[in-house]
Every structure is written in C-alpha cells, then in structure tokens.
Structure 1
C-alpha cells in the first residue's frame, strides 16, 4: 500500500461538460491492481497457472470487488468497509461505512488525485513508458508493474485494465452504474488519460476491467462523490 497525501483535484465529465473540485483526504492505495493470484487466495477461487499469477484480475464486477475488499479485511482482522443487504447484488444494497479501517475501492476523486501524483496534464509521463494500451499491448493483458510508476509509486493506473471506483457515475441518468477509470489494454491512447471516465452496471464483467484496493487513514474516508 502506498501513502497518498491529501490534496485537491478537479473532476470533469465530457458528456455534461461539467467540472467540480473535490478536497481529497490522505489515504492508502495499493501500488498495483489486484492480481489473479491475490484474488484467488482471498476468495478461495482456483489458483491461476503460474504464468498468470501476476496478471491483474479481470472479469470481476463492481460487486465482486466489494466482496473481495470485505473478505480481505476479515482475513487481516480489519473492520469491513461495506455493509451488504439482500439487494447488494445490484449495488443498491451496499453502503460504505466511512469509519471502518478495512479495505475498500477508491473514491473517484481519490483515484484521479493518486493517478496524477501532483501533475496536471493528461498523463504523468509518456504513454508508452507508463501504460499498456492498444498501441503496445499486442491486444492482451500484461503482468502488473511492467511499466514505470508515477511519482508516488503507483503502477498501472493508466492502461492494462480499467479500475472500478466506489462512485455512482450519474444516478439521475444511469441509475446504479458505477465509475471506471484508467483505460485498458484494448483502448486507444485517448482513453488512457487521468481525467477519462467510463461507466458500467455493478454486475458487469469483461476481460479489461479490474480494480485496486484502498484504505482510509485514521478513520473516515472521502465518501460518495458526485
């Protein structure tokens, strides 16, 4: 886990041409997306082949990611960040306990603030140096950590797999759809930018979507945004 300092980030949405500033508290964020080996170890799923252990887990839904976070918290003796009721399968029955010290998905503002690592351009470095995208991925996923990290020590925030965030994308228009960030191995260069937002249903699974975990520092968290 990498310590991400507090700060301020301006989120934007091309569809609505809206932007909004967010104050971000310090947090901990995993240096890498969750790998297939980590996912299997925590969830009890069959272990991947040795050559696939360090590939980022994909074909996981937002609700799968929430379940992983709670399972990892229990495994490490932490208080789970999510309360899940009978309707949790679609995301509506899942609530974030911001006082919990367990693992969770990053809020969208936390994700973008961490991805930028103090920079203000579309990327924190030359794309071919920092990301696996359609131009250099040979149209397949790659092991985590294969490109340069940003200044705060975070790898693969751009490219390789899209990453689930906690937030609703636009509840009034898209209901329970959640935010995805970062771009993936099959995306063109314009999708691999710190500001790009994508949306999907919380039960959606596809081979270029994964996630990384976060933890709040000293209790409390960013909370739902936008």
Structure 2
C-alpha cells in the first residue's frame, strides 16, 4: 500500500464548553475529553491522495477541499484510517452511521470538540481580529484561499473561522430537521457575523456545497 502522510494534528486538552443556539435561545454545557484535531481544514491535495477525486470548482493542492458532503467526509475518514493501519471509526448501518468511540482511526470532530478547539481558551466571539484570522466576504475576493495563510489561534489551529464551513459529527436538531448535520466556522463568502466561534449552521448530509469542507480529528 502506498505510504501517505497523515495531516498534522494538535492535541486539545480536556475541558468544558458552553454551546448555544440562537434560533432556540438554548444554551448547554458539554464536558470534552482530550482529543487531537488537524491544524487546518483538509486540503484538496490530501483528499485526492486518498480518493483520487478533486471536488469543488477551483483546484489547488493547498486549497481546502470543498463541495464534499457529510457522507463524503465519513468515507474519507475511514479510508484514511485504513491507509494508516488504524481501526475505522465509522460503520454504515442501513441509511445511518454508527460511530465506534473506541476506535483509534480518524473521524469528524463533535460540535463541542470543534468549538473547544476553535476557542482555544479564549472567551470572545473570535480568537483574534477577523481580518487577521479568517477569509470571509470582505477580504476573500469571492473565493477560497490556501490554508494557513491567516494567523492561527492560541493552540496553533488555522482557518477555524472563515475559508470553508466544516462538517461536524452531530445532528443539528433531529426533532425539527431530521438527519441534517452541524456545520461550523463560516466560509469565504459569509458576512462577518457568521464567522464566530458559537455560530451553528445545518445542512443535509448528502449535499455538496461549494463553501463546505471538513477537518479531521482522532481520540
């Protein structure tokens, strides 16, 4: 089997995060165990190394992969785990997915993990001045940009806000939206108010949208 370098990861310490939903005015606390998360959103080059595919409208090795569905992200995680000799985190059950939380393979972060990693110990809406940390509508020229061009957060994570929205594992609100999954982070075409640590968005897991990618996690 061809040797493929795994994306660089950062260890995130255990802690608690408070999630909120503006639509319902709900707030809830989540205890997060320690885990690892990729320094940047998965790139097109990394995605092509595993799948042979180049989704999205603009091609570039260091551009974040976009135009990928939640199901595409799940399949990628399992394929990368297989290449790395790790146990797959996900197993398909009919039209759903079961997550084996004991597996050591790659996976999507939970929504709580994503927000803890994004905030990196900060308490404001963002971990720095928006123009310094994110590509969004006012500075992106209407297109995605290569990863790691903006300043990272205090834990060394790049592009947690802006550039592309990122799929998370969680269902958004199953009682209202069924199988729709959570998106976080804001994208290159979003206004400034969407690029905040607490902002939640949703999409159907089969949809492939041109400003939606993902970031992998482990542990």
Q: What is the TM-score with the length of structure 2 in the denominator?
A: 0.93
3-state DSSP of counterpart to 1:155? coil
Q: Distance in 1 between matches of 2:77 and 2:199?
A: 24
Q: Distance in 1 between matches of 2:55 and 2:84?
A: 20
Q: Distance in 2 between matches of 1:16 and 1:76?
A: 41
State yes or no: 1:36 paired with 2:37.
no
- Which residue matches 1:9? 17
**Superposition RMSD in Å:** 1.5
Structure 1 consecutive aligned stretches of length 4 or more whose deviation exceeds 2 Å:
44-48
3-state DSSP of counterpart to 2:28? strand
Q: Check the 8 A contact 2:55/2:66 in 1, yes or no.
A: no
User: In structure 2, do the counterparts of structure 1 residues 150 and 46 end up closer, same or farther at CA, with 3 Å as the change threshold?
Assistant: closer
- Which residue matches 2:105? 102
State yes or no: 1:160 paired with 2:163.
yes
3-state DSSP of counterpart to 1:205? coil
Per-residue deviation, 1:23: 0.5
Q: Check the 8 A contact 1:37/1:47 in 2, yes or no.
A: no
- Which residue matches 1:150? 153
State yes or no: 1:111 paired with 2:114.
yes
Count of residue correspondences:
210
In structure 1, list runs of 5 or more residues that go unmatched.
88-92, 217-226
Out of 21, 28, 31, the residue aligned to residue 20 of structure 1 is 28
Q: Distance in 2 between matches of 1:193 and 1:125?
A: 10
Out of 56, 75, 83, the residue aligned to residue 75 of structure 1 is 83
Per-residue deviation, 1:84: 1.0
Q: Distance in 1 between matches of 2:166 and 2:55?
A: 22
Q: Distance in 1 between matches of 2:154 and 2:108?
A: 21
Q: Distance in 2 between matches of 1:95 and 1:163?
A: 20
State yes or no: 1:54 paired with 2:62.
yes
Q: What is the TM-score with the length of structure 1 in the denominator?
A: 0.91
Q: Distance in 2 between matches of 1:160 and 1:44?
A: 23
Matches within 5 A, 1:125-136: 125-136=128-139
- Which residue matches 2:194? 191
Q: Distance in 2 between matches of 1:158 and 1:5?
A: 20
State yes or no: 1:170 paired with 2:167.
no
Q: Distance in 1 between matches of 2:93 and 2:145?
A: 36
Per-residue deviation, 1:46: 5.6
Per-residue deviation, 1:44: 2.4
- Which residue matches 1:205? 208
